[in-house]
Amino acid sequence: MTDLNTLGLAEARDALRAGSTTSKELTVACLKAIEGAGVLNAFVHHTPEIAMEQAAAADARIAEGNAPAMCGLPIGIKDLFCTKGVPSQAGSRILEGFLPEYESTVSGNLLGSGAVMLGKLNMDEFAMGSSNETSVYGNAINPWKVDERQLTPGGSSGGSAAAVAADLCLAATGTDTGGSIRQPAAFTGTVGIKPTYGRCSRWGVVAFASSLDQAGPMTKSVRDAAIMLETMCGYDPKDSTSADLAVPNFEALMTGDIRGKKIGLPKEYRMDGMPAEIDKLWADGADMLRDAGAEIVDISLPHTKYALPAYYVIAPAEASSNLARYDGVRYGHRATLDAGDGITEMYEKTRAEGFGPEVQRRVMIGTYVLSAGFYDAYYNRARRVRTLIKKDFEDVFAAGVDAILTPATPSSAFGLGEMTDVDPVQMYLNDVFTVTVNMAGLPGISVPVGLDSKGLPMGLQLIGRPWEEGDLLSSAYALEKAAGFVAKPAKWW
């Protein structure tokens, strides 16, 4: 077999079980691809020795005939996941040199099942960004290219999206606080699912906004997402928000039969100034699902317009609290002090040097909205809005809607540097279609459906009922089959 790195998880799993390839061969193919794609800056910490050791162990497990689904499959791990003995910086200078003594639950689940870790993937600093331009490592680059411009792979899981799209790994982990799995997936023609809040443990994942953060897989197909998600999930007593629920066989539930399913189209997502191509993509997606047997209905989510401003109160507030622990005392970067400097100066200088401008901006916003006199006016009001947003979805699902179809992003991938010098609110608007899902704690998936006039991928989002990832994946599989999206970026790197 040639070009083993281009395989998806399902194909590679079946090839391993059939004996037509080995985990070592798959891993070598991916390592060579990574070596030749340095310009993409997707991988920021390389672990080839660890990968080859894990591949050898996986081959032995497969030979014994008792290997889990992810056994022997080479993947990338987003730098937000703590990995034992491997640098875990969350894309920030302030965690420079941090080598965790423990493994995050999600990455531990994957490695325990025999998955092979190729290395750590680029990301926006502390997952704060929509373009991967806030990373201390420099930005990752989208493998899709239509002219001489370099395009963003999206954020914050930009390195994960770029690596999967460029076939540097078979799949990757991502995290999603306001769209950080689904937006990069849409920008790179890949699949990304954010499961229900509490489905994947947050333990060992560097925190951004604890009530919103959720891990998920980024893959080359919906089937691959089902395979990887099952291994990532599971109850974890170390995370108080982890759901003590059985994890179903998501792949078995993924029939693609959506006859009689009711798919809602929320009128509030038809926003002023939305590009005609996105609107047409949405309409085409609805037609595909209708042709597959679903009933398409118009629905209303009336508090959608408040989601983005409420999110950008709640998320920075939680970030302000979570990032207070980074002080230069126990681990990571510590500023050089002048004679006479005390502990206060050490904190101030360390945090000023260690945090980038976007993180500083969000910490300051969060500290402001939590301060005396503003807590009720901003933070508590945003929490009440969040409750109303959640109720909107509950009402729609109670009325018999099985899933909701929306655009994933307001545009295809934009050029690096295009939005960093403008009002940061313009960058925040990239999350306009995705933040409601995090605010309500629901599962959402981005599926590539077509190319725009420039030849760049565009995705649609499906939102499902809580804890019904299997049903959501089945609907996404139907959409994927109908769209027939097989385009890949032309290799220029």
Catalytic (active-site) positions: 78, 156, 180
- Residue 321's alpha-carbon distances to 209, 318, 364, in angstroms, are 9, 5, 11
Which of 94, 85, 86, 80 shows the shortest CA–CA distance to 331? 94
Backbone angles phi, psi at 172, to 5 degrees: -155, 155
Pairwise CA distance, residues 439 & 178, whole Å: 8
* 167, 36 Cβ separation under 8 angstroms: no
* 450, 269 Cβ separation under 8 angstroms: no
Pairwise CA distance, residues 467 & 195, whole Å: 8
Pairwise CA distance, residues 399 & 97, whole Å: 52
* 247, 234 Cβ separation under 8 angstroms: yes
Task: Judge residue 162's burial from the number of C-beta atoms within 10 Å of its C-beta, 0-12 exposed, 13-18 middle, 19 or more buried.
Answer: buried
Pairwise CA distance, residues 157 & 292, whole Å: 32
Query: What does the block give as tokens for 37?
Result: 């794609």
SS3 annotation, 108-135? HHHHHCCCEEEEEECCCHHHCCCCCCCC
Pairwise CA distance, residues 473 & 476, whole Å: 5
Q: What are 77's strand-pairing partners?
A: 120
* 167, 198 Cβ separation under 8 angstroms: no
Pairwise CA distance, residues 216 & 194, whole Å: 5
From start to end of 91-202, where are the E strands? 116-121, 171-176, 191-194
Pairwise CA distance, residues 316 & 368, whole Å: 9
* 41, 138 Cβ separation under 8 angstroms: yes
- Where are the alpha helices (H) located in 36-141, listed in sequence order? 48-64, 105-112
Pairwise CA distance, residues 315 & 318, whole Å: 5
Pairwise CA distance, residues 81 & 83, whole Å: 6
Pairwise CA distance, residues 409 & 388, whole Å: 23
Q: Would you mind telling me the total number of residues written for the chain in this entry?
A: 493
